Amino acid sequence: MSRNVMTAIAVALLMQLGVSCHQPIPADLSKANLIPVPVELTADGSSFQLTEKAEIFINEGNGGVKLVAQSLASELVRTTGIQLAVTEVDQAPAKGIYLHLNTDESTKNSEGYSLAIGERKVELSANAPEGLFRGVQTLIQSLVKGGENQTMWLIPSGKIIDYPQYAYRGMMLDVARHFFSVDDVKRVIDLAAMYKINVLHLHLTDDQGWRIEIKSWPKLTTVGGSTQVGGGEGGFYTQEQFKDIVRYASERFITVVPEIDMPGHTNAAVVAYPELNGNKKKAELYTGTKVGFSTLATRKEVTYQFVDDVIREMAALTEGPYLHIGGDESHVTEDDDYVYFINRTKEIVKKHNKTMIGWDEIAHADVNAEDIVQYWAKDKNASLGAEKGAKVLLSPSKRTYLDMKYDSTTYIGLAWAGLIEMDQSYNWYPAKLIEGIDNEHILGIESPLWTETVETLDDIEYLTFPRLIGHAEIGWSPASHLNWESFKKRLAQHGKVLKDLEVNFYQSQQIPWVMD
């Protein structure tokens, strides 16, 4: 037998066995700039070489896994230019990228995942499709260029076991003070999903505008939605548009939490329907930024018909378990009337099979283990809510309020809670924030962006990024892994990612950004 024939047979056998002809290329998974930092990571010094010959494999018959695999393929095209096919198989492949479900207890919950990267195979497994989706974000972040001419994409080899510390890791977007389009909201969803954020809280109503169609009370939008801070035409989402936002978020495993703020912050509603007004003064459309001057008529039955109708329609539009009733800054509502209103509204939320969330003032009502108190201002309110059994959602204004300026030169934003640079934003621990409130009381954290000064998508991005990225790590990673020096070095490498995505992010001088 000739040498050429023997060589051909050997090559064919190697291909049949799935053995790569590529020489292993060293790479260090421990040096990947992963945010949030994983729970466990072990590097073994080699790599998987990503080429157009690779494939993404999934088991047959699971639509959720297929959607995640397709999202991975799309991200790989965007990131590397490499187009991989998604192939359904009836057994585990010997090589390629393999996504599948299992019942691995080490990944803890539905968002946890296991990522095993070898020279011939990348295996991503989870207990549910959302865990696979979280793992895909890590996989994309781990990509590095390699080879002699830096023309090859590598995935450093090793093992990652990862799962979130808190179930709720959210961002709030105020679309009431200034209105933002469906496309703007979808852009926010896409960027937040990259960092394992799993909740988008939409502040849909306030004194300056009502932004969601309620068919049983149509003037809420035709009248109440007609303006915004500073004037302008305002706007609102039709129910079909809102359902589109919910669907889009759900495909990225983000839960939309709608907020209907009451009994205060209701000027737009009582202008539309004066019979709801609990203030003795006639309400007019409002385009300023003061708070605390409006209230619903908390002792009139028409108010609770209104509340029931609004919550009924919102509950039907919302797939997630939560409905936010606001409850903050009701300064002209008498204390007894306020408690009476929250207690009745709580029962209406429950009747429509949702869990009530409210700002920390609601702790003065009859909250219990079925409710969630969102801390923003007063420690004693959060403690009171926890004492009554409610879960606490942490949004400390001095740490997480994205509408605060970074420093005195920031061209938009407010400063009433202080200036929040990156170190101030990152250097805190949820379980040590309020004495007596530890992890058993904490549902998670959320980063609110109020929009009194925010008028465009660029404004949203500038105040949100990179601070939301740090909050995402605080919500996901173990407290023992949170380290400012490590974080700012890893974040620096995300400068190019944000630049490539054309994100108008704040280039803090505290971060040694890498843009090339």
Residues identified as active-site = 329
DSSP E strands in 151-219: the ranges are 152-162, 168-174, 199-203, 205-206, 209-210
Instruction: Give the separation between CA 307 and CA 297, rounded to whole angstroms.
Output: 11
Dihedral sign for Cα atoms in the order 397, 399, 404, 408: positive
Is residue 365 classed as helix, strand or coil in its secondary structure?
coil
b (16+ CB within 10 A) / e for 233-268: ebbbbeeeebbebbebbeebbbbbbbbbbbbbbbbb
Residue 261: enclosing H or E segment and its boundaries? strand 255-262
Instruction: Give the separation between CA 143 and CA 79, rounded to whole angstroms.
Output: 9
Per the structure block, which two tokens stand in for 430? 């949820």
- DSSP structure class, residue 178: S
Per the structure block, which two tokens stand in for 251? 């495909």
User: Is the backbone peptide bond immediately before 258 cis, with ω within 30 degrees of 0?
Assistant: no
| DSSP one-letter string for 65-129 | HHHHHHHHHHHHHHHH-----EEEESS--SSEEEEEE---GGG-STT-EEEEE-SSEEEEEESSH
b (16+ CB within 10 A) / e for 93-132: bebbbbbbbeeeeebbebbbbbbbbbbbbbbbbbbbbbbb
Phi-psi region of 230 (alpha: psi -120 to 50; beta: other; left: phi over 0): left
